[in-house]
């Protein structure tokens, strides 16, 4: 998402490198390219025009600092304006009792899955969500919601398949909810391929009866400018209170995300960035602006990693790495942790400047199939072979290759790479050097046992600091070096 826009903006910023100051001429030339990039990314024309106007006014205004290079200053200005365009600060849900959330949107936007994702997230936060199936036109939607609800262990109300009265279903669902000890209810409603008057009429009637605290529009991030007209239509009809962008992990141009907030005036509250239930996060405009400008999103990365990694297991693995006792059992554990983080490609995009560096990384390094092959090879080893890989000679290698469905060449390659890795870990000097380099990242020093003066104590590696890093990076207005 946003890759083409990020590349275009980076090209525009290059015009300022080597410039002594920001002038009307160089800002006009750069903004011409930016305007084209925004339109190509499916940003609404009026939104693109307003954005360019605001950037130009700020760039030529009295706030431009002489102590900062023009190339750095223009990035700061763009970051501020993108953040404003996306909504400023994150806006939480209104969950004061009676907390009812009504989900609306077109067919194919991912409404039903998003209902389950939102319920799972709110449950993780300590709330007791309930799900109600109100899509009476697509029987599969009711079955789908029931399946997802079972998966996340959340109570769900499913109406009789023959029922056609939407308000009656809602009434029955509220009676059912009284005996479920829930703290909020999420209503999944029907969608259409196109917004039509019948759908809108039914939604208005249901909305009037439920009087929900939140009416959330689920919009497919890949819909482009059509998403803006859909958002406007739903807002006029039922008064949406927020937007959830689904499929944000796709290859879409991203214009919908940049347009809907400005056109509707309603905040983007969450985004779905994967197919799994847990691939669902709060939408933070400042963080998203940083990712678009390739400034990274370290806060989200740390939160993501801290939520997926078992700290005790990571500590044990780290201690074994330091002691030089690292074997293939530990290797399996490490791969399991890495795979739990999801696609490495998306994780790397959260690191500053990584979009450029990623082009230099071999494709195999980000290939999850390669990781599966390595895991299959290790699983084909005996417990003794995993503990003592040095005993794996010719006949054993052939057996392992056959058992894992790979070749002897792949087995040899993995054993060689593992041997080099273990040799490096046994070398205290190299290990310390690697840790010191990591300690240079803000917040990493604490996690790696950093002492006074920036020294790193290899015996004090502390994975428990991982969760605290987000607080260091996530200060008010933090994350920018300006």
Strand pairing of 129-134 and 156-157?
Answer: parallel
Which of 316-325, 390-399, 449-458: highest mean pLDDT?
390-399
pLDDT digits (tens, 9 = 90+) for 434-463: 444 444 444 444 434 444 443 334 334 444
Could you list the beta-strand ranges (E) of 64-153: 99-104, 129-134
Name which of 213-227, 263-277, 351-365 the model is least confident about.
351-365
pLDDT for 156 equals 96
Average pLDDT over residues 354-369: 53
Rounded to the nearest 10 degrees, the angle between the axes of helix 255-264 and helix 226-238 is 30
pLDDT for 87 equals 77
Give residue 347's pLDDT band: very low, low, confident or very high (50, 70, 90).
low
Q: Do residues 30 and 382 make contact, with C-beta atoms less than 8 angstroms apart? A: no
pLDDT over 60 at 312, yes or no: yes
Q: What is the spatial distance between Cα 370 and Cα 372, in angstroms, rounded to a whole number?
A: 5
Q: What is the spatial distance between Cα 52 and Cα 464, in angstroms, rounded to a whole number?
A: 44
Domain 308-473 architecture = Orthogonal Bundle (1.10)
Domain ranges of the chain: 3-86, 99-295, 308-473
pLDDT for 29 equals 74
Give residue 143's pLDDT band: very low, low, confident or very high (50, 70, 90).
very high
pLDDT over 90 at 265, yes or no: no
pLDDT for 180 equals 93
Q: What is the spatial distance between Cα 29 and Cα 454, in angstroms, rounded to a whole number?
A: 44
Residue 67 CB partners (closer than 8 Å, separation 6+): none
Tell which wins on pLDDT, 464 or 390. 390
Here the contacts of 72-79 (C-beta below 8 Å, separation 24 or greater) are 72/482, 73/22, 73/482, 74/13, 74/16, 74/22, 74/27, 74/30, 75/13, 75/293, 75/295, 76/480, 76/482, 78/9, 78/289, 78/293, 79/286, 79/289, 79/290, 79/293, 79/295, 79/480
pLDDT for 171 equals 95
pLDDT for 442 equals 42
| Spacing of C-alpha 240 from chain mean position | 23
The token duo for 349 is 């995009």
Q: What is the spatial distance between Cα 95 and Cα 175, in angstroms, rounded to a whole number?
A: 20
Tell which wins on pLDDT, 315 or 185. 185
Name which of 35-39, 386-390, 395-399 the model is least confident about.
35-39
The token duo for 124 is 């993780």
Strand pairing of 214-220 and 99-104?
Answer: parallel
The mean pLDDT of the chain is 75
Tell which wins on pLDDT, 436 or 478. 436
Strand pairing of 99-104 and 280-282?
Answer: unpaired
pTM of the model: 0.63
Name the one residue in this structure whose structure tokens are 């009656």: 168
pLDDT for 350 equals 54
Annotated binding site: 105-112, 188-192, 246-249
Tell which wins on pLDDT, 20 or 406. 406
Average pLDDT over residues 319-344: 70
CA distances from 374 to 378, 394, 406 (A): 6, 18, 9
pLDDT over 60 at 481, yes or no: no
Kindly report the CATH number that applies to the domain delimited by 3-86. 1.20.120.140
pLDDT over 80 at 172, yes or no: yes
pLDDT for 252 equals 52
pLDDT digits (tens, 9 = 90+) for 71-127: 667 777 877 888 887 777 778 899 988 899 999 988 888 899 999 999 999 999 999
Q: What is the spatial distance between Cα 253 and Cα 227, in angstroms, rounded to a whole number?
A: 12
Tell which wins on pLDDT, 482 or 287. 287
pLDDT over 90 at 17, yes or no: no
Q: What string of DSSP letters covers 89-112?
A: S------PSSEEEEEE--TTS-HH
- Using DSSP's 3-state secondary structure scheme, residue 352 falls into coil
pLDDT for 372 equals 80
Q: In this structure, which CATH number among 3.40.50.620, 3.40.50.300, 3.40.30.10, 3.30.450.20 belongs to the domain 99-295? A: 3.40.50.300
**Closest alpha carbon to 434 in 313, 303, 312, 322:** 322
Phi-psi region of 126 (alpha: psi -120 to 50; beta: other; left: phi over 0): left
Average pLDDT over residues 161-178: 92
Annotated binding site for GTP: 105-112, 188-192, 246-249
pLDDT for 30 equals 75
Name which of 72-81, 304-313, 361-370, 452-461 the model is least confident about.
452-461
């Amino acid at each position: 998402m946003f890759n083409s826009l990020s590349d275009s903006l980076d090209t525009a910023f290059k015009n300022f490198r080597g410039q002594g100051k920001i002038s009307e001429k160089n800002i006009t030339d750069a903004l011409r390219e930016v305007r084209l990039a925004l339109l190509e990314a499916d940003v609404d024309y009026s939104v693109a025009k307003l954005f360019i106007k605001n950037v130009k006014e700020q760039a030529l205004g009295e706030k431009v600092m002489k102590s900062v290079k023009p190339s750095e200053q223009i990035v700061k200005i763009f970051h501020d304006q993108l953040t404003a365009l996306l909504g400023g600060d994150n806006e939480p849900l209104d969950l004061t009792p009676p907390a009812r959330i009504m989900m609306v949107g077109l067919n194919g936007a991912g409404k039903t899955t998003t209902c389950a994702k939102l319920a799972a997230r709110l449950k993780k936060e300590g709330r007791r969500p309930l799900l109600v199936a109100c899509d009476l036109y697509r029987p599969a939607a009711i079955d789908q919601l029931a399946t997802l609800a079972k998966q996340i262990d959340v109570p769900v109300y499913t109406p009789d398949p023959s029922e056609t009265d939407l308000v009656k279903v809602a009434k029955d669902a509220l009676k059912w909810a009284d005996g479920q000890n829930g703290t909020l209810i999420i209503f999944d409603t029907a969608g259409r391929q196109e917004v039509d008057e019948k759908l809108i009429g039914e939604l208005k009637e249901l909305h009037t009866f439920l009087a929900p605290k939140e009416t959330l529009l689920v919009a497919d991030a890949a819909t482009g400018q059509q998403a803006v007209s859909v958002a406007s239509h739903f807002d006029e009809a039922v008064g949406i209170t927020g937007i959830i962008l689904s499929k944000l992990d796709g290859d879409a141009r991203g214009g919908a995300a940049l347009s809907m907030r400005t056109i509707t005036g309603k905040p983007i509250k969450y985004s779905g960035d994967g197919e799994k239930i847990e691939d669902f996060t709060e939408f933070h405009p400042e963080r998203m602006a940083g990712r678009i400008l390739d400034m990274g999103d370290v806060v989200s990365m740390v939160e993501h990693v801290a939520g997926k990694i078992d700290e005790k297991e990571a500590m044990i693995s780290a201690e074994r790495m330091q002691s030089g006792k690292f074997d293939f059992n530990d290797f399996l554990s490490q791969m399991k942790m890495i795979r739990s983080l999801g696609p490495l490609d998306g994780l790397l995009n959260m690191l500053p400047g990584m979009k450029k560096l990623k082009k230099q990384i071999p494709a195999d390094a980000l290939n999850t199939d390669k990781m599966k092959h390595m895991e299959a090879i290790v699983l084909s080893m005996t417990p003794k072979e995993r503990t003592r890989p040095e005993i794996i000679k010719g006949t054993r290698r052939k057996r392992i290759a056959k058992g894992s469905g790979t070749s002897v060449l792949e087995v040899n390659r993995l054993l060689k790479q593992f041997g080099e890795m273990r040799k490096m870990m046994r070398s205290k000097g190299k290990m310390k050097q690697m840790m010191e380099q990591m300690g240079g990242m803000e917040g990493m020093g604490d996690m790696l046992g950093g002492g006074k003066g920036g020294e790193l104590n290899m015996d004090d590696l502390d994975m428990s600091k991982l969760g605290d890093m987000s607080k260091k990076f996530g200060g008010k207005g933090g994350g920018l070096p300006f």
